[in-house]
């Protein structure tokens, strides 16, 4: 079950925007400078989160596929053992 990339990235970008705006305001920057830096920071945060969530999704899906393949192999081996023991009797 992959994670929702867009909602996570947007949420963290909005948080990043307001944190950077607040930091700029505390340091005495002009409104335009605060806004410009906050927007750039939010865009960078959005891109970083999108890449990170995509990597996490790829890892999770690969692990799920490997787990499913291992279960299928165990099931086949179990069926072969049962068939062999039935044919001996």
pLDDT 10s digits, 46-89: 999 999 999 999 999 999 999 999 999 998 888 888 777 776 65
So what's the pLDDT on residue 83? 76
Write down the domain spans for the chain: 5-88
So what's the pLDDT on residue 1? 66
- Report the mean per-residue pLDDT for the chain: 91
What CA–CA distance (Å, rounded) separates 21 from 86?
73
CB 10 within 8 A of CB 42: no
Backbone angles phi, psi at 3, to 5 degrees: -80, 150
Mean local confidence (pLDDT), 19-26: 94
pLDDT band at residue 35 under the 50/70/90 scheme: very high
């Amino acid at each position: 079950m992959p994670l929702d990339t867009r909602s996570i990235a947007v949420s963290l970008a909005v948080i990043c925007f307001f944190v950077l705006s607040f930091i700029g305001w505390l340091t005495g920057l002009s409104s335009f400078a605060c806004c410009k830096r906050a927007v750039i920071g939010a865009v960078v945060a959005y891109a970083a989160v999108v890449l990170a969530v995509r990597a996490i999704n790829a890892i999770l899906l690969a692990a799920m596929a490997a787990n499913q393949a291992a279960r299928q192999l165990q099931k086949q081996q179990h069926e072969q053992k049962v068939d062999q023991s039935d044919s001996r009797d």
